[in-house]
Structure 1
Amino acid sequence: MFGLFDKSQKIKGTVVLMPKNVLDVNELNAVKNGGVDGFVSGVFDTVTDVAGQVVDSATAIFSRNVSFKLISATSTDAKGNGKVGTESYLEKHIPTLPTLGNRRDAFNIHFEWDSSFGIPGAFYIRNFTYDEFFLVSVTLEDIPNHGSIHFVCNSWVYNFKNYKKDRIFFANNTYLPSATPAPLVKYRKEELEVLRGDGTGERKEWERIYDYDVYNDLGNPDSDKNLARPVLGGSSTYPYPRRVRTGRKATKKDPKSERPAGEIYMPRDEKFGHLKSSDFLTYGLKSTSQELLPSLENVFDSDFTWNEFDSFQEVRDLFEGGIKLPTGVLSDISPLPIFKEIFRSDGESVLQFPPPHVVKVNKSAWMTDDEFAREMIAGVNPNVIRCLQEFPPQSKLDPTLYGDQTSTITKEKLEINMGGVTVEKALSAKRLFILDYQDAFIPYLTRINKLPTAKAYATRTILFLKDDGTLKPLVIELSKPHPSGDNLGPVSKVVLPAIDGVDSTIWLLAKAHVIVNDSGYHQLMSHWLNTHAVMEPFAIATNRHLSVIHPIYKLIYPHYRDTININALARQNLINAGGTIEQSFLPGRYSMEMSSAVYKNWVFTDQSLPADLIKRGLAVEDPSAPHGLRLVIEDYPYAVDGLEIWDAIKTWVQDYVSLYYPTDVAVQKDTELQAWWKEAVEKGHADLKDKPWWPKMQTLQELIESCSTIIWIASALHAAVNFGQYPYGGFILNRPTLSRRFIPEPGTKEYDEMVKSPQTAYLRTITSKRQTIIDLTVIEILSRHASDEIYLGERDNPNWTSDSKALEAFKKFGSKLTEIEGKITARNNNSSMKNRCGPVELPYTLLIPSSKAGLTFRGIPNSISI
């Protein structure tokens, strides 16, 4: 009878989570000792509960040890905040949900509910167990007069005592701050306050605090004075983007620098762990620096002659048959799967890498001038070449410090190979191009050339656009500082193309010096600085100021996935003092200083592809042309494919953003948005905060352009400069990373050797065997896609928003990317487009959006995830 008037009932929920040990392959020894399969299977051994019933360990751990409290989005308590419901616990474990290799366990839960509570909009969660777990999602079903509600969580939840405030998660609704349901306003603000922290103390593993700091953890002066490095950021001398603050103690010898740590803090949800493959990438990099390299050092120290390649065939043996290693070199190296393709497992100590794509079809075409030129517009570093605007090429370096750096190339030397076209006509017709590394390297060359094995030039290469649309190198200028002082200007030599005799060897060596410049600039500036480093401040600011229910958070957050993690790993193993980048690339210990110098001239608005092409003189605005731009080199694979991707991104952003911001005033009045942008500029990029080019974030167009640029950098730009590293650079003859000799002068022993054996001269000039193995091991890892990768046009959860119009716009975006894939494939099959495949017959596929896992030479992940 009373039941007729009882408004209370229970609403069912499904909680999906993953126990720590499924994801957290953080104990490397567990992988070594038992293998990954044994390690994972051991996590789910059966145990006996208090009633004597046999259950799996997930049930034993989580059943009634995790509590939830719903928070109403429509009903308030006496203080005007969303009403908090009674505590409910996980119930009996239900069958496992199969996934891509990571075990997800689903639990039932029932909540007390009545009509006065209203519609849930958030929930509190408490973990009473010892170990953290990864909360994937919560779904509430059949809420009266409403239906289902999805909570996309994707977060690690530790024991509740580690938190000052209970963890809170919000439903997948989207609200501007001013449109937030009143009962949720307090909770929205409080969660952002938690994420910002108070800026003090050393961060702990379980914390989720996002804050800024300078790059003061690259050196290790307490270990060795030669490992001291300057602090990057916070000064006009060494400006730099900011990274996540860790709060570690200072080194003893440099109070401005932080002590290195075994594990670098990052907000817990930023750590790898969604799938084991990501952890393998982590441990592959760590094992390279901590296990592989020391083992190889022992080989080179004991047998110095093993350090040199003796022929081009020996280089090819790295992937054709392998190179026999001295006995014992592999005894301590990790058996992680990432190394299985590098080291044979049949008992032989043989080093063998996967075949690089650039020599899969043609083994010698890399040596041609056509391929040398083509890779400037279709290689791994296609965004440095620019149209030559003046002749002779000029420098922007301070002449009081570096003398007159004006090029010594003459018109006469250029015109030798221009088929009767004059320099004046070629300039006016936009047919001359330059790859110019003079200003980037000259300030550092005196110091670089004092390093033990470095002998390098700063290079300028001028190219001519032929009638068939391909580029032809005309001349290479090689410069080094004056021996009596940098201020006296460079000592330069000009090298012309040659096809036979000793001159052809000199030309080949000159091209190698150009590529060594290009390799260093690519790795440090085009790749690390212009994608990894500049993106981290935006990721920090987004988490500090945009609520998870903010529309712009939902738009751009997927494009930060794993970036903070991989950057921390890089500071620990790759770009740190003595790390693999310093060991295997030309600038050595000055690598990061050089990237700081380039950052001085970094401009956010120039990072959009159209702006970049216009700035480099490779495109002009033309409303009648595709994408509103007319390319100077029509068959420019990076630009042609990239503009299609850029337009797809911008259209998606415009469609999405316009759903929430009908006017410029709406942008101006969004308090979270304004705080986000202000801090990203003034704290995240503090050393450039006064530059006039920063968008003011006062108009809808500024918001669309800025978000499009962030997404472009994180996805397509990074893909273009990252995933071709091994396909092109895995063959070290094609992309050497070090130069150890200047071009020999007549009358020297080295010159005689060059005449007698051009291959030996080339091999003694470029990267040695030791550095080659270091370099290839790292770039082979960095060029791979993890099996849990999420690509442009995809999301990790179909319920990322409840907004049907946003979902429809996103579906349209995905369809457009599929269409672009087809167009790229068609262009690669068009034999009239000679730059698409080139002499090496390698189609340009780096900007094809989709990919499988592994070393694929294609695929645009959402984010800088490796």
Structure 2
Amino acid sequence: MKTVDYKVTVYTGDLVGATTLNNVYIKLVGTDGESQRQWLIGLKWPVAFIGGEVSTFTVSCPTSLGKLVLIELDKQRLPIILQDPWFPAKVEVESPGGDIYKFPIYRWITDSEVHHFREGKALRVFEDSNHLGAYSREKELKQRSEDYCWDVYIKGIPHCIKADNPLDLPTEVRFSFTKTTEFAFTASTGLAELNLKGLAASQESWSNIDEIKQVFWVKHTKMSDYVQKHWKEDAFFGYQFLNGVNPMLIRRCSVLPSNFPVTNDMVFPKHQFNLEDEMKNGNIFLCDYKRLDGVETRLINGKKQYLMAPLVLLHKTPNEKLMPIAIQLKQTPTDDNPIFLPTDSEYDWLTAKIFVRSAEFSEHQLNVHLLRTHLLAEVFAVSLLRNIPKVHPLYKLLIPHTRYSLQINYLARKLLISKTGVFTAFAASGGEGMITILRNSLSSMTYRSLCIPEDIADRGLETVPNFYYRDDGLRLWEIIHRFVRGILQQYYKNDIEVQKDSELQKWIGDIFEHGFLSKPGTGIPQRFTTVPELVKFVTMVIFTGSCQHAAVNSGQFDYGGWMPNTPTSLQQPPPTKKGTTNEAMLLKTLPDVNTTAQGMATLWLLSKQSSDFVPLGQYPEEHFTEEIPRQLIKDFQAELKTLSSEIKDRNSILDIPYTYMDPTEVENSVAI
């Protein structure tokens, strides 16, 4: 009897541990019927499914199956072989008529259950008309809602995934073997070096600044060396507000806050400028750490720690440098809360700047880094995995931008911010203070502040010179926006199609509820009504998890590897009057040896790029199979390559190159 033969090609992922020696079975399901479940055995058996292998088989059917809708895959162990995990990348099927059907998989199969995989053409829920496809879609989402459950880690901050240990996470979102081993190695070698030197346990104060160089002999970067040489300089202090790891606080100041009574004579004693005029001309800037006001600090080594909520005034000079001109260390102006000035004694002014830099550590780590990148990226990912099936265009677009985010956040909760975590133990704002700052930060976070064009405009920073975070960030936003618009306009031809996509609406609904705690004042949409609204939000999601995270994460050791530039804690109160500070007092104020060592080791770990890093716009997993989105991806990559070249050219003539938003240095996702 004549049969209809389908050519089946199976691609096993080229990953450590991707190989299976189990028997693999497939069933083809089409609009006009389905094949028998068939054992995939051929000339390559038993090595047909080793890592990186491509193997071809024939599946014979009595009649045509019509258009293929899905495949079913399962694997069964042989009596003498253990059940082993397998990572199929994709399956391609060629019909007798020459049609090619592509089935993206890119997931681990670890059991002997039957798994369904849809044909690669992106379909929204209202156009998935085949009953088998619709059933498969419904079944997938039901399973995902069980695998990815919401949990409340701390009341009043964004929700997270429910997991008691990394093995509770579905295999598809866990670290690779490479990532796991490198992460553990980096952490252990840093602490081993500190233990070897006896620094990790020493509760002594530093006897002089130069002693701090001994924390790490080998671990340093060009930038951390630069910081060590220039950290005391006012110009470098000002530069960091624009191009350091927290470019999010500075804003143009047109009217002084009522609680910051700076006078013209204070800041321009020689009357070379007029403060009112300089504010009108847009040359005065403010950094206000009010979110830290009243935060309870913890004990470290049995000693009370201090965290201020400073106000910092800066002046853009005619030679286009941003110079600090006044610092008030507490929010309420009183006689025992002096306004420190560059004309004060060396140690008065330096001490004031160090209190600002220590406040900067807590503001940056908890608000700018943890909340506004890590926690949001987790919310975006969990909502995607719960509500959007693999066949949906939004899943195909966003899944690369969720890679490793759930496990890295689990580890952050376990190792950094838990009751015994490094941040809790060795930062002034650890413990209760951390919770207060996170809640304060969430209550002040808006949708506009997550979208860099609006954020820059709202802070009045459009024309500030030498602001490379802004320059590179705006270019990246534009490139991502064009790419997202191209992809989504392929699938959403009008606003009605957006409004009737129930899966899309559940995705944003979950984000509004679990990420922004149903607070309409944030400006986050509760549902999508137009295509441009959808495009903007998805642009923000990709930008947040890739570019913004790179900007606030990658330079942590560069700027914090020299502790006096970014102390995790301070252990003396700030001076209440001028003329009372000296070098000995400054050394007593800086954190103890073990606090310094633990902080620097942690920043080294968090700044270390993994060897399986995937740069922005590179998509090793081919989720889109249609020609137009694949071409749009190529266009996206070409634009990123051009921008990278321009950034490298600019950096070649800068004293301090700004590399953090070079597309080749930006990871696709929050992965560290």
Both structures adopt the same fold (TM-score exceeding 0.5): yes
For 2:35 and 2:142, locate their aligned partners in 1 and report how far apart those are by CA, in whole Å.
Answer: 20
Structure 1 residue 91, shift from structure 2 partner: 4.2
Q: Secondary structure of the equivalent of 2:10? A: strand
Q: Equivalent residue of 1:458, what SS?
A: coil
Aligned partner of 2:666: which letter?
I
Aligned CA distance change for structure 1 residues 448 and 708 (closer, same or farther; 3 Å): farther
The alpha carbon displacement at 1:608 in A equals 0.7
Question: Is the counterpart of residue 774 in structure 1 residue 602 in structure 2?
Answer: no
Number of the residue aligned with 1:543: 385
Q: Distance in 2 between matches of 1:653 and 1:604?
A: 18
Q: Which amino acid aligns with 2:151?
A: D
Separation in 1 of the partners of 2:57 and 2:435?
52
**Deviation of the 1:210 alpha carbon:** 1.1
In 1, are the aligned partners of 2:614 and 2:667 still within 8 Å (CA)? Answer: yes
The 3-state SS of whatever aligns with 2:389 is coil
Contact 1:537 1:685 in 2 (8 A): no
Q: Distance in 2 between matches of 1:430 and 1:414?
A: 16
What CA distance in whole angstroms lies between the structure 1 residues aligned with 2:570 and 2:469? 28
1:610-759 to 2 correspondences below 5 Å: 610-618=453-461, 631-688=462-519, 693-694=524-525, 696-744=527-575, 751=580, 755=582, 758=583
- Normalization by structure 1: what TM-score? 0.72
Is 1:96–1:103's contact at 8 Å kept on the other side of the alignment? no
C-alpha distance in 2 between matches for 1:828 and 1:792? 19
What do the CA deviations read for 1:400-432 (whole angstroms, capped 9, x no partner)?
Answer: xxxxxx224334313337x63222212211111
Residue 655 of structure 1 and its aligned partner are, at CA, apart by 1.1
Deviation at 1:277, TM superposition (A): 3.5
Question: 1:463 touches 1:471 (CA, 8 Å); kept in 2?
Answer: yes
Change in CA separation of 1:420 and 1:277 when aligned onto 2, cut-off 3 Å: same
Which secondary structure does the structure 1 equivalent of 2:349 belong to? helix
Separation in structure 2 between the aligned mates of residue 691 and residue 309 of structure 1, nearest angstrom: 44
Aligned letter for 2:110?
A: Y
Q: CA deviation at 1:825?
A: 2.2
In 1, the alpha carbon distance for the partners of 2:226 and 2:241 equals 20
d(CA) in 2 for partners of 1:317, 1:277: 29
Note if contact 1:479-1:490 (Cα within 8 Å) is conserved in structure 2. Answer: no
Could you say which residue in structure 1 is the equivalent of 2:413? 571
Q: 1:361 to 1:415 in 2, by over 3 A?
A: closer
Work out whether 1:126 is the aligned partner of 2:74: yes
| In 2, Cα distance between equivalents of 1:93 and 1:309 | 65
Out of 85-94 and 657-666, give the one that drifted further. Answer: 85-94
Name which of 594, 597, 616 aligns with 1:792: 616
Code of the residue aligned with 2:32 in structure 1: it is S
Change (3 A) 1:470 1:264: farther
Q: Please state how far the C-alpha of 1:843 moved relative to its aligned partner.
A: 0.7
The structural deviation recorded for 1:800 is 2.4
Q: 2: distance between equivalents of 1:374 and 1:785? A: 25
Counterpart of 1:443 in 2: which secondary structure? coil
Distance across 2 between alignment mates of 1:318 and 1:299:
7
1:588 equivalent in alignment to 2:430: yes
C-alpha distance after superposition, 1:158-215 (max 9, x if no partner): 2235xxxx32122322112222251412111211111112xxxxxxxxxxx1121111
Q: Report how far residue 594 of structure 1 moved.
A: 1.4
CA offsets 1:659-693 (integer angstroms, 9 cap, x no match): 11111111112122122222221244334367555
What one-letter code is carried by the residue in structure 1 that aligns with 2:337?
S
Letter in 2 for 1:75: D
Q: Distance in 2 between matches of 1:68 and 1:97?
A: 14
1:600-646: per-residue Cα shift (whole Å, max 9, x none)? 1222343010111122222xxxxxxxxxxxx1303211101111111
Residue 236 (structure 2) pairs with residue 413 (structure 1): no
Decide which moves more: 649-658 or 776-785: 776-785
Retained in 2: the 8 A contact 1:668–1:698?
yes
Give the counterpart of 1:504 among 326, 336, 346.
346
Relative to structure 1, is the Cα distance of residues 180 and 448 closer, same or farther in structure 2, using a 3 angstrom cutoff?
Answer: same
> For residue 143 of structure 2, what is the aligned residue in structure 1?
194
Displacement, 1:66? 2.5
The alpha carbon displacement at 1:113 in A equals: 3.4
Residue 376 (structure 1) shift: 0.6
Deviation (angstroms), 1:278 = 4.2
Change (3 A) 1:297 1:473: same
Please give the secondary structure, in 2, of the residue aligned with 1:599.
helix
Partner residue of 1:334? none
Aligned to 1:473: 324
**Cα offset for 1:526?**
0.4
Corresponding residue number in structure 2 for 1:343: none
The equivalent of 1:627 in structure 2 is: none
Distance 2:309 2:324 in 1: 17
For the structure 1 residues 704 and 364, does the alpha-carbon distance in structure 2 shift closer, same or farther, using more than 3 Å as the test? same
Task: Tell me the amino acid that sits aligned with residue 128 of structure 1.
Answer: Q
Residue in structure 2 matched with residue 43 of structure 1 by the alignment:
none
Q: Does the CA contact (< 8 Å) of 1:358 and 1:731 recur in 2?
A: no
Task: Output the aligned Cα RMSD.
Answer: 3.1
Aligned-pair distance for 1:563?
Answer: 0.6
Identity %: 23
For residues 48 and 565 of structure 2, the distance between their equivalents in structure 1, rounded to whole angstroms, comes to: 47
TM superposition shift of 1:547: 1.4
Determine if the alignment matches structure 1 residue 434 to structure 2 residue 286: yes
Unaligned runs of 5+ in 1: 24-57, 77-82, 198-208, 216-231, 234-238, 247-260, 320-351, 395-405, 483-488, 619-630, 831-836, 851-858
Counterpart selection for 1:279 from 170, 181, 196? 181
1:143 maps to 95
Q: How does 1:311-350 map to 2 (within 5 A)?
A: 311-319=208-216
Q: Secondary structure of the residue that 2:231 maps to in structure 1?
A: helix
Change (3 A) 1:156 1:570: same
Q: 1:477 to 1:668 in 2, by over 3 A?
A: same
Segment drifting more, 699-708 vs 472-481: 472-481
Partner amino acid, structure 2, of 1:309: W
- Cα contact 2:479–2:639 (8 A) shared by 1: yes
Q: Does the CA-based 8 Å contact 1:139-1:148 persist in structure 2?
A: no
Which has the higher relative contact order, 1 or 2, with Cα contacts under 8 A spaced 6 or more apart?
A: 2
Q: Choose the corresponding residue for 1:810, options 617, 633, 645.
A: 633
Post-superposition Cα deviations, 1:671-717, rounded to whole Å, max 9, x if no partner, equal: 22122222221244334367555263100111000000001101100
Pick from 207, 216, 230 the counterpart of residue 310 of structure 1.
207
- 1:14 and 2:23 aligned: no
Please report how far the alpha carbon of residue 577 of structure 1 lies from its aligned counterpart in structure 2 after TM superposition.
1.2
The 2-side partners of 1:103 and 1:537 are apart by 32
Alpha-carbon distance between aligned partners in 2 of 1:17 and 1:693, rounded to the nearest angstrom: 38
Q: Distance in 2 between matches of 1:193 and 1:561?
A: 22
Match of 1:863 in 2: 669
Deviates more, 1:680-689 or 1:176-185: 680-689
In the alignment, the residues of structure 1 paired with residue 320 and residue 332 of structure 2 have an alpha-carbon distance, to the nearest angstrom, of: 36
Equivalent residues of 2:304, 2:571 under 8 A apart: yes
Aligned 8 A contact 1:480 1:490 in 2: no
Is 1:374 the counterpart of 2:225? The answer is: no
Aligned equivalent of 2:651 = 828
8 Å CA contact retained: 1:356, 1:731: no
Q: Give, as a single letter, the amino acid of the residue that structure 1 aligns with 2:244.
A: G
- The answer to whether the 8 A contact 2:297-2:305 is kept is no
SS in 2 for 1:14: strand
Q: Compute the displacement of 1:587 (Å).
A: 0.6
- Is the Cα–Cα contact under 8 Å of residues 93 and 100 in structure 2 kept in the other structure? yes
Confirm or deny: 8 A CA contact 1:17 1:106 kept in the other structure: no
**Separation in 2, partners of 1:806, 1:481:** 56
Aligned position for 1:354: 219
- Residues 580-606 of structure 1 show CA distances to partners (whole Å, capped at 9, x for unaligned) of 112232212221331122111222343
Partner of 1:242: 159
Mapped to 2, the partners of 1:682 and 1:300 lie a distance apart of 42
CA distance in 1, matches of 2:522, 2:227: 48
Q: Which amino acid aligns with 2:59?
A: F
Match of 2:37 in 1: 86
Alpha-carbon separation, structure 1, partners of 2:35 and 2:262: 76
Question: Distance in 2 between the 1:17 and 1:635 partners?
Answer: 44
For the 8 Å contact 1:92–1:107, the answer to whether it is kept is: no
Which residue, 365, 375, 399 being the options, matches 1:557?
A: 399
Shift of 1:434: 1.0
Q: TM-score, normalised by structure 2?
A: 0.91
2:338 to 473, 493, 515: 493
C-alpha separation in 2, matches of 1:820 and 1:97: 42
| Distance across 2 between alignment mates of 1:690 and 1:361 | 42
